Amino acid sequence: MERYRAYHRRSLDDRDAFWREQAALVDWHAPFTDVLDYSNPPFARWFVGGTTNLCHNAVDRHLAARGDQPALIYISTETGARATYTYRELHAEVNRWAAMLQDLGVGRGDRVLVYMPMIAEAVFAILACARIGAIHSVVFGGFAAASLATRIDDARPKVMVTADAGMRGGRVIAYKPLVDGAIALAAHPPAHVLIVDRGLDQAMTRVPGRDVDVATLAARHAGANVPCAWLESSEPSYILYTSGTTGKPKGVQRDTGGHAVALNLSMRDIFCLAPGETMFCTSDIGWAVGHSYIIYGPLMRGCTTIMYEGLPIRPDPSIWWSIVAEHKAKTMFTSPTAIRVLKKEDPAHMRKHDLSSLQYLFLAGEPLDEPTARWASDNLGGNVAIVDNYWQTETGWPILSAQPGVEDTPRKFGSPSFPTAGYDLRLLRDGTAEEVGADDKGVLTIQPPLPPGCMTTIWGDDARFVQTYFKTVPGALVYSTFDWATRDGDGYYFVLGRTDDVINVAGHRLGTREIEEAVQAHAGVAEVAVVGVADNLKGQVPVAFVVVKDRTRVEGADRAATMRREVMETVDRELGAIARPGAVHFVTLLPKTRSGKLLRRSLQALAEGRDPGDLTTIEDPAALEAIRALLAVPARPA
């Protein structure tokens, strides 16, 4: 691991020279004068004075060498639509969209709110914003009107881009009524709403003078040629609101130059893609992963990127693997939750397609449990590397990951390996600046300056940026990830879960993620969520909600009792009796957001007999209602 260690150490110790070299991966219209300005901690300005453009780097600069290469492959198993856009065709579409936005009064520094399903037009709109220097703010499609309204008021967009509807699991989700409702609630509504009419919502209405159909406006701008706006490196490229925000939304602000440099580096060093190769990222554009590794990262690298609308098991559980085989994807990026969904299915679905092109399966979004990692590794064969990586909306690219493009270091199941370039990580005792030793649990923090590509502030609120992220450790200016982690004697990190997911059982602090890992060690368990529930005697007790692989094992009181006892014995064996769940509930489905994250706080509320509140992003409300009925929690009054 000497090559990796020397590389990472140089990114910290010889910062100026290291990042000057990485900046050569980006086209600059005007060169930067300084690599870093850190004169106002914790605010970092990277590549000061340099001007560039994300759309130029993602599209224009590839036209000469690979204009006829596929840039964007769009696949929808919801509507059956498929389309492939070469770099030249993508360039034409983005120029037309840029002209449409300018026609509606959008200019440099203006905000455009994108509220779209997973369709190619969303990519056109996002890149068009980058082209003209507008700041895009993508809000996950299907967010409720009230949540959307708060984001409108925070970003104050001049134009909103949407569609008549999205689809999920064969169900039409009408967007326009949500948009209309949000605008009615907003204090700072957009002047125009640009609508892609997919023909899914025949009842869609339009507001005269405000709503504009893309088809109508596009006809006026066929063949448009809109020049790129050259932005200073620190000018904002986009705002992305962190999921689960309460109260005033927290808009992560990303810069331009640092963002471009970090993503280009990550595509080479982490995801191991060369120009012309194909990446399949199954995320959504409403999340940071979709921004970075469906749109910007692959395109800036000159790769082919696949955008997918649909579920991993529809029309059948082999759909993702058929896409990998058909388009010869080298690198795939998805979430542990998605793999756990596929884990319930016959692994023969994976083996029925030629996956010889696939070399890497990257998993991120939540801690990767060892049984899921082993299942993927065993069933994909020895030629596919399973690479756990850890990062946040705030960072925009991985904090921790194996970096095969630097050195193909051995991987340990359950660990996202090592810090990536520029991240100076410290594991600190809770509430102090004292570093923990090997295998001790601490809060994962980053010594500033944050490397290129990370958030530069919270949109419109510098003070909140400092207070939220850099004031958690008394007497020390460090960025808190709000995650617990350990580091073993070999330097491998293990992320245990959020600091606020730690429960206190009779004075013993236990991470719910640790208990979930222990429950997953039972061969009959497919998925599990553990929450801490208030207890008069012990303060809190862990409660487990378990999905079993074979439902017959929990049918009937006797069988359920046997399985429950086995689960508790497994936890006793893996962690000790102190971690034994106070209750184990068998459920058919765990409630998740549409991005695949478990709704642990809602489960905790139900387990404590409380109402789970308004759940605007839940994938399947029936999952939570079934648990409500199981626990006999009264429904919220109408």
Q: Which whole number is the average pLDDT over 266-294? A: 96
**608 or 67, which is more confident:** 67
Same domain? 247 vs 313:
yes
Same domain? 238 vs 355:
yes
Give the H/E segment covering residue 418. Answer: strand 418-419
Among 304-318, 494-508, 598-612, top mean pLDDT goes to 304-318
Helical pair 557-574 and 512-520, crossing angle rounded to 10 deg: 120
Same domain? 512 vs 467:
no
Rounded to whole angstroms, the Cα distance separating 563 from 638 reads 37
**Counted domains in the chain:** 2
Residue 539 lies in a domain: yes
Residue 623 lies in a domain: yes
Rounded to whole angstroms, the Cα distance separating 175 from 115 reads 8
Q: To 10 degrees, the CA torsion angle through 581, 582, 587, 590?
A: -60
425-452, pLDDT tens digit by residue? 999 998 899 999 999 999 999 999 999 9
485-504, pLDDT tens digit by residue? 999 999 999 998 777 676 76
Residue 102 lies in a domain: yes
Q: Are 403 and 420 within 8 A, CB to CB?
A: yes
Nearest to 428 by CA among 500, 484, 347: 484
Q: Which whole number is the average pLDDT over 276-292? A: 95
Rounded to whole angstroms, the Cα distance separating 597 from 365 reads 8
Same domain? 438 vs 556:
no
Same domain? 551 vs 474:
no
pLDDT tier for residue 592 given thresholds of 50, 70 and 90: confident
205-244 exposure pattern, b = at least 16 Cβ within 10 A, e = fewer: eeeeeebbebeebbeebeebebebbbbbbbbbbbbbbbbe
Same domain? 455 vs 548:
no
pLDDT for 632 equals 83
Alpha carbon 282 to chain centroid, angstroms: 10
Rounded to whole angstroms, the Cα distance separating 591 from 600 reads 8
Query: What is the domain extent for residue 301?
Result: 2-483
Q: Which whole number is the average pLDDT over 374-390? A: 91
How are beta strands 51-52 and 231-232 bridged, if at all?
A: antiparallel
Give the H/E segment covering residue 288. Answer: helix 288-290
pLDDT tier for residue 245 given thresholds of 50, 70 and 90: very low
pLDDT tier for residue 638 given thresholds of 50, 70 and 90: very low
Q: Give residues with Cβ within 8 angstroms of 467, minimum separation 6.
A: none
Q: Are 502 and 511 within 8 A, CB to CB?
A: yes
pLDDT tier for residue 613 given thresholds of 50, 70 and 90: low
Helix, coil or strand: residue 494: strand
pLDDT for 574 equals 78
pLDDT for 90 equals 98
- Residue written as tokens 């862990």? 542
Rounded to whole angstroms, the Cα distance separating 519 from 256 reads 43
Q: Give residues with Cβ within 8 angstroms of 560, minimum separation 6.
A: 554, 586
Q: Which whole number is the average pLDDT over 213-234? A: 97
With vertex at residue 264, the alpha carbon angle to CA 258 and CA 268, rounded to the nearest 5 degrees, is 145
Rounded to whole angstroms, the Cα distance separating 320 from 16 reads 42
Residues of the chain with pLDDT > 70: what percent? Answer: 95
Rounded to whole angstroms, the Cα distance separating 512 from 505 reads 11
Across the chain, which distance is largest between two alpha carbons, in Å? 73
Rounded to whole angstroms, the Cα distance separating 521 from 274 reads 38
Nearest to 525 by CA among 564, 556, 498, 578: 564
Distances in whole angstroms, Cα of residue 292 to Cα of each of 296, 312, 397: 5, 21, 7
Alpha-helical segments (H) within 133-279: 145-155, 176-185, 214-220, 257-269
pLDDT for 5 equals 97
DSSP string, 217-236: HHHHTTT---PPP-EETTS-
What's the alpha-carbon Rg for the chain, to the nearest Å?
24
Same domain? 456 vs 522:
no
Across the chain, mean pLDDT equals: 92
Same domain? 453 vs 545:
no
pLDDT for 280 equals 98
Give the H/E segment covering residue 562. Answer: helix 557-574
Rounded to whole angstroms, the Cα distance separating 351 from 340 reads 17
Tokens of residue 320, six digits: 């993702």
Same domain? 195 vs 100:
yes
Rounded to whole angstroms, the Cα distance separating 438 from 434 reads 13
Determine how many CB atoms are found less than 10 A away from the CB of residue 380: 19
Q: Are 59 and 87 within 8 A, CB to CB?
A: yes
Helix, coil or strand: residue 37: strand
Residue 495 lies in a domain: no
Identity of the residue numbered 378: D
- List 185's β-bridge partners, or say none: none
pLDDT tier for residue 244 given thresholds of 50, 70 and 90: very low
Same domain? 420 vs 569:
no
Q: Are 200 and 182 within 8 A, CB to CB?
A: no
pLDDT for 512 equals 84
Same domain? 450 vs 546:
no
Lowest mean pLDDT segment, chosen from 375-389, 549-563, 587-601, 608-622: 608-622
Residue 266 lies in a domain: yes
Q: Which whole number is the average pLDDT over 309-335? A: 96
Domain CATH code at residue 528: 3.30.300.30
**184 or 1, which is more confident:** 184
Q: Give residues with Cβ within 8 angstroms of 310, minimum separation 6.
A: 75, 76, 77, 78, 319
Alpha carbon 487 to chain centroid, angstroms: 24
Question: Starting from the edge strand earliest in sequence, which strands make up the sheet with 238-241, in order?
Answer: 211-213, 192-196, 159-163, 111-115, 135-138, 238-241, 251-254, 457-458
Residue 579 lies in a domain: yes
Rounded to whole angstroms, the Cα distance separating 386 from 549 reads 23
pLDDT for 144 equals 77
Nearest to 528 by CA among 536, 517, 542: 517
Q: Give residues with Cβ within 8 angstroms of 185, minimum separation 6.
A: 145, 146, 149
Same domain? 511 vs 416:
no
Nearest to 534 by CA among 505, 559, 498: 505
Q: Give residues with Cβ within 8 angstroms of 539, minimum separation 6.
A: 504, 505, 506, 507
- Residue written as tokens 């993620």? 513
Residue 489 lies in a domain: no
The secondary structure of 309-355, three-state, reads ECCCCCCCCCHHHHHHHHHCCCEEEECHHHHHHHHCCCCHHHHCCCC
Residue 132 lies in a domain: yes
Rounded to whole angstroms, the Cα distance separating 625 from 603 reads 11
Tokens of residue 288, six digits: 């940071």
Domain CATH code at residue 305: 3.40.50.12780
